C-alpha cells in the first residue's frame, strides 16, 4: 500500500516543495502593481511633457503678439508680459578647452581645477604661517627671543615718550596763543576806553 502511494506521488512535488495558491497570487499581484506604477509614471511624464509643450506654444504666441500699447501696471504685470520672450533666447553650448595634457575639458571643469589649485596654494601658505608661529612660540618658550622683545618694548616706550612730549609742546603753544589773544583783546578794549574818554574834550563848542 505504501509503495502504491509513493508511485502516485509526482516527481519534484514532495511535501516540502509544494506551492501554495497564496504564493502564486502574491507574485502575480506584485508584478501587476509594479506594471501599474510604471504605467502611472509614464503617464505623468507624458502629461508634464504635454504641459511644457503647451506652455512653450503659449509663450511663443505671446512673444509674437505683444501688447505694446498698454503700459505696465505693476512689477508683476511687467514680469508676466516680458517673461514669454525667453523663447527667443539663444543658449550657447558649453565652451570647451584643451589643457596642457591635450585633454578636452569644459569650462566648468576648468573652473573647478582653478579653484582646487587656489585652495591648494592657500593651504600651503597657511601651513607656512603655522610653522612660523610654532617656531616663534618655541623660541619664546626657550628664552631666545627675550632680547628682541626687550628691544621692541624699549622702542615702544621711546615712542610713547615722544608722543607725550609732542602733546605737551602743542599744549604750551596753544596756551601761548590764547594768552596773546587775551592780551590783544585787553589792549584793544583799553584803547577804546581811552578814545571814548577823550572824545568830549575834542568836540567843537557851539557858537
**What do you get for the CA distance between the two ends of the chain, in Å?**
183
Contact 112, 91 (CB under 8 A): no
Determine the pLDDT at residue 95: 61
pLDDT at 23 over 70: no
The residue among 195 and 135 whose pLDDT is bigger is: 135
pTM above 0.75, yes or no: no
* 98 pLDDT tier (thresholds 50, 70, 90): low
pLDDT at 16 over 60: no
The residue among 15 and 171 whose pLDDT is bigger is: 171
* 121 pLDDT tier (thresholds 50, 70, 90): very high
> For the chain, what are the domain ranges?
44-91, 94-144, 146-195
What is the rounded average pLDDT for all residues in the chain? Answer: 76
123-140: per-residue pLDDT in tens?
999 999 899 888 888 877
Amino acid at each position: 500500500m505504501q509503495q502504491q502511494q509513493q508511485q502516485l506521488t509526482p516527481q519534484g512535488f514532495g511535501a516540502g516543495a509544494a506551492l501554495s495558491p497564496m504564493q502564486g497570487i502574491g507574485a502575480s499581484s506584485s508584478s501587476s502593481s509594479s506594471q501599474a506604477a510604471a504605467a502611472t509614471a509614464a503617464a505623468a511624464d507624458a502629461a508634464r511633457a504635454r504641459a511644457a509643450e503647451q506652455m512653450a506654444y503659449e509663450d511663443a504666441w505671446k512673444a509674437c503678439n505683444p501688447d505694446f500699447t498698454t503700459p505696465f501696471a505693476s512689477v508683476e504685470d511687467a514680469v508676466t508680459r516680458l517673461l514669454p520672450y525667453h523663447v527667443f533666447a539663444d543658449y550657447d553650448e558649453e565652451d570647451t578647452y584643451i589643457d596642457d595634457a591635450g585633454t578636452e575639458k569644459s569650462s566648468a571643469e576648468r573652473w573647478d581645477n582653478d579653484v582646487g589649485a587656489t585652495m591648494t596654494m592657500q593651504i600651503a601658505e597657511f601651513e607656512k604661517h603655522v610653522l612660523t608661529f610654532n617656531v616663534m612660540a618655541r623660541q619664546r618658550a626657550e628664552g631666545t627671543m627675550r632680547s628682541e622683545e626687550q628691544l621692541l618694548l624699549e622702542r615702544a616706550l621711546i615712542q610713547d615718550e615722544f608722543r607725550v612730549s609732542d602733546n605737551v609742546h602743542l599744549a604750551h603753544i596753544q596756551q601761548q596763543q590764547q594768552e596773546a589773544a587775551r592780551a590783544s583783546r585787553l589792549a584793544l578794549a583799553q584803547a577804546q576806553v581811552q578814545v571814548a574818554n577823550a572824545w568830549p574834550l575834542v568836540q567843537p563848542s557851539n557858537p
